[in-house]
Amino acid sequence: MRAYSIHWNKTEVQNLVSSFIKMGHDVIGVESSDGARAVKLIKVPIPDMLIVYLTRLPSHCLETARALRSMNGH
């Protein structure tokens, strides 16, 4: 599955994403600093899975996830 990951700590997100790669997922993108940029970049290719870590700045993660969801008409 193609995955895109959002987490507001660059070092932590790289470590977390490595576990998804080991499970055989194709991580097609990572955002660790700008939710608006994530919304723009996730358009193509569309990931099968969005990984949103709520351990840092959960309100930012949720807002980004909501923006993505509304963009896709869900």
The H or E element containing residue 39 is helix 35-41
Domain ranges of the chain: 2-71
Q: What does the pLDDT read at residue 21?
A: 92
* 72: pLDDT strictly greater than 60: no
What CA–CA distance (Å, rounded) separates 35 from 32? Answer: 8
Q: What does the pLDDT read at residue 41?
A: 78
* 74: pLDDT strictly greater than 50: no
Q: pTM of the prediction?
A: 0.76
Tens digits of residue pLDDT in 7-27? 888 888 888 889 889 999 999
Tens digits of residue pLDDT in 37-66? 888 878 777 888 888 888 788 888 788 888
Q: What is the residue-wise DSSP string for 12-65?
A: HHHHHHHHHHHTT-EEEEEESS-HHHHHHHTTSSPPSEEEE--SS-HHHHHHHH
